[in-house]
Structure 1
Amino acid sequence: MKIERYKRRNNQNIILEMTPLIDIVFLLLIFFLVATTFEDIDTGIKIDLPQSTIREVKTVKEVQLSLTNSKEIFIKYQEGKENKKVPVKKVNLKRELAKVLSESDNKAVVISGDKTLDYGYIVEIMTLSKEAGAEQLDIDTVFQK
């Protein structure tokens, strides 16, 4: 497709072709899509975290336990470059968590529990995590301004 013809001083026509311009735009688009890293923000687990006025931002490379309001437990961890999310039952939590922690260099566990869960249930999960080999336990919250 030709846009417009311009006359030069020596009477030669300049033609601007759109095809190479479109090719360059698509190449740039593909480059930025490939070069961008995508973060797993929405995990698909519905958890309403409790709020806190203390803000401490950590990059989570630890093992994370996600506890839903219906007491479902998910172990989230990174294996190589792949993020894993494994559902487990409470009776199998100690064994499964010990297996994941044995393969991890960092023995920290982050617990993300729904705010409607009772305190006793959270303490049971923390106890099982410690028995499985967790050296550090953190509780995930949402920052409240």
Structure 2
Amino acid sequence: MRLDLDDGDDITVDMGPLIDCVFLLLIFFLVSTTMKKPEQEIPVELPDPAISAVASPAQQVQNLVVDVEGNFYWGATPIGQQEVHKQLRQWAETDPGAHLRIRVDRNTPARYLVQLVDLCTYEGLTNYAIHTRDGDVQ
């Protein structure tokens, strides 16, 4: 039996479907990456409080203050981050029902507030509040 092997036919790859797939993948990745915007680009201005609690004179209140640079103050005494943890532990041991008022500057990074709330939760303090400015103060 005789086979006719003609080497004149060139084997070609059709590039049309390949280019279509590449463009579809390109469009998919462009759309999926631009849908989620970084949250840091969103300007957020925190609102003033709608309701504020009135402090009771019989209740013992301790102020924990954080300034713009992230410095901590226990009352009016500047303390470090490790000292904050120690003070909260002592505060929870002596009187776990005592009221702690956390005062954070408006321009302070939120990580400091989250750190303080986490420390209060870790030490078992449940009676704490985040102090905002009064509604009548401009």
Residue 118 of structure 1 corresponds to which residue in structure 2? 109
Task: State TM-score, norm by structure 1.
Answer: 0.51
Residue 29 of structure 1 corresponds to which residue in structure 2? none
Please point out which of 57, 81, 100 is paired with 2:91: 100
> Equivalent pairs: percent with the same residue?
16
- Work out the CA distance in 1 between the residues paired with 2:81 and 2:51: 30
Please point out which of 89, 92, 99 is paired with 2:80: 89
Residue 62 of structure 2 corresponds to which residue in structure 1? 63
**CA spacing shift, 1:57–1:136, aligned 2, 3 Å:** same
Residue 125 of structure 1 and its aligned partner are, at CA, apart by 1.2
Please point out which of 48, 53, 71 is paired with 2:50: 53
Number of residue-to-residue matches in the alignment: 88
Instruction: Establish whether residue 143 from structure 1 lines up as the match of residue 134 from structure 2.
Output: yes
- Work out the CA distance in 2 between the residues paired with 1:94 and 1:116: 23
Higher helix share: 2
Higher strand share: 1
Specify the code of the residue in structure 2 equivalent to 1:125.
L
- Work out the CA distance in 1 between the residues paired with 2:52 and 2:94: 30
- Work out the CA distance in 1 between the residues paired with 2:115 and 2:101: 14
Larger radius of gyration: 2
Conserved 8 A contact 1:73-1:88: yes
User: Could you list the runs of 4 or more consecutive aligned residues of structure 1 that deviate by over 4 angstroms after TM superposition?
Assistant: none
Conserved 8 A contact 1:109-1:129: no
Residue 63 of structure 1 and its aligned partner are, at CA, apart by 2.4
**CA spacing shift, 1:53–1:100, aligned 2, 3 Å:** same
